[in-house]
Amino acid sequence: MFTMRLRIYKRKVVILTLVVIISAFAVWSSGKPKKDDDVFAKEVETDKRSSVAIQIQPTMTTRKSVINESLAEVKKHQVVPKVEVDNMTLVYRAIIFQLNFDQNVKNEEKFRSVRQKDDLVVVVQVHNRPEYLRLLVESLRKSKGIGNVLLIFSHDFWSPEINQIVESIDFCSVMQIFFPFSIQLYPQEFPGNDPRDCPRDISKTEALNLGCLNADYPDSFGHYREAKFSQTKHHWWWKLHFVWDRIHTLKDHRGLVLLIEEDHYLAPDFYHLLKLMALLKKEQCPDCDVLSLGSYGHIGYSSKANKVEVKAWKSTEHNMGMALSRDAYQKLLRCTDAFCTYDDYNWDWSLQHLTVTCLPAYLKVMVSEAPRVFHAGDCGMHHRKSSCMPSGQKTKIENVLQNSANQLFPKKLLITKRLPDSKKGVAPHVKNGGWGDIRDHELCKSYLRLH
């Protein structure tokens, strides 16, 4: 039975684009609109002119109560209830499709003469923390050479506030792309929270008795998927493919792509440093796969601003400010199955897994001893605090940068440490689970084929 559903799901992924377009057209063409639809139509037209998106306001009850009620109904009647997709959700999906297709570049004319071929591309993965995104944009605005950068924001949540922040950027070329399989776009079906899915903490025996959709596929710890955790790994992998293979203006890009997140903060000389690192890689470390702007451990500069190390890439140290070349991306592509089926909902720990399994040699990273990237986010998926204080984090980071201002913008870099070319001592973390569902595996692998 599940195999039949999986076949249906695969066909659904392949024809998703056509379904979205047809559904959206049907919504807009189905007779005289209601009053609410009239208002929405006006908002869409306003949004097209201002590039400020409409925010989806979910009105669902808690996932647990919905699941329990749905599963009780399944057990009672031994039928799977049909999940209805509201018309507005279909319209949102159509808008996302159109924006990803158009790939409009803001400020392109203004910076066309400044930006060089194969210059740096910075990709920011954005969820829904506008207070931190403002800090990141502020740090980018202060960065020397930022006018040479193509800045891409990859979103999995659509809100007017976030779009206004992006719209305010006038210091470089800007593009927005949108993860097309977000929870927001699939609120009551996979890859979102399908009420027919199994509750996280029931046993496999109970799940099979209930007949929930993914009963056969708990993770390594006996838990069933939670969409809010699965989404980040999906988004990261999709973003990687879309940027390298689907953005028209980057079709022949041979430069670096720097991957950062909405709660990062960059030093004023990050662009300068990456230029020096790229030159050093070419001259002294051609097999370096990743250039990293820094790790979590090094906070002070202490005459380290012109020093880098070459070592094995580790998820706990080098997942911030990763710059990849196309060659490095191609290496990861060859490990798609290993990445997409590894039972860990973290993209970085899944990448660590590839280092000791699929890849012929460990990922080699050149990392700055004095960081040019900082983690400002003290709240998020792995950080549970009663209040988020981005202003406090900003003050701490700016104090570090001000105290080390005379060490920024080094003229030349020096490799101070090299680890031997061996996998010995390089081991993956113990898997965290949360990625046992075969639907997540298949969707993850499908990004190579569908955008």
- 373 annotated as ligand-binding: no
User: 434 — alpha (psi -120 to 50), left (phi > 0) or beta?
Assistant: left
H/E run at residue 438: helix 438-446
- 346 annotated as ligand-binding: no
Which spans in 112-220 are helix H? 130-141, 160-167, 204-210
Task: Specify whether the CB–CB gap between 293 and 270 falls below 8 A.
Answer: yes
Side-chain-side CA neighbours of residue 111 (13 Å): 21
The dihedrals phi and psi of 302, each to the nearest 5 degrees, come to: 45, 55
- 61 annotated as ligand-binding: no
- 375 annotated as ligand-binding: yes
- 129 annotated as ligand-binding: yes
Task: Specify whether the CB–CB gap between 144 and 272 falls below 8 A.
Answer: yes
- 441 annotated as ligand-binding: no
- 127 annotated as ligand-binding: yes
The tokens for 164 are: 């206004």
- 156 annotated as ligand-binding: yes
Packed helices 160-167 and 130-141: angle between N→C axes, nearest 10 degrees: 0
The DSSP secondary structure of 192-255, one letter per residue, reads S--TTSPPTTS-HHHHHHHT-TTTT---TTSPPP-HHHHHHHHHHHHHHHIIIII-GGGTT--S
The dihedrals phi and psi of 418, each to the nearest 5 degrees, come to: -130, 130
Q: Is the Cα dihedral 337, 439, 323, 98 positive or negative?
A: positive
- 98 annotated as ligand-binding: no
- 62 annotated as ligand-binding: no
- C-alpha span between 332 and 250 (Å, rounded): 18
- 384 annotated as ligand-binding: no
- 233 annotated as ligand-binding: yes
H/E run at residue 405: none
- 125 annotated as ligand-binding: yes
Binding site feature residues for Mn(2+): 263, 375
State the binding site for substrate.
Answer: 125-129, 156, 231-235
Binding annotation: 125-129, 156, 231-235, 263, 375
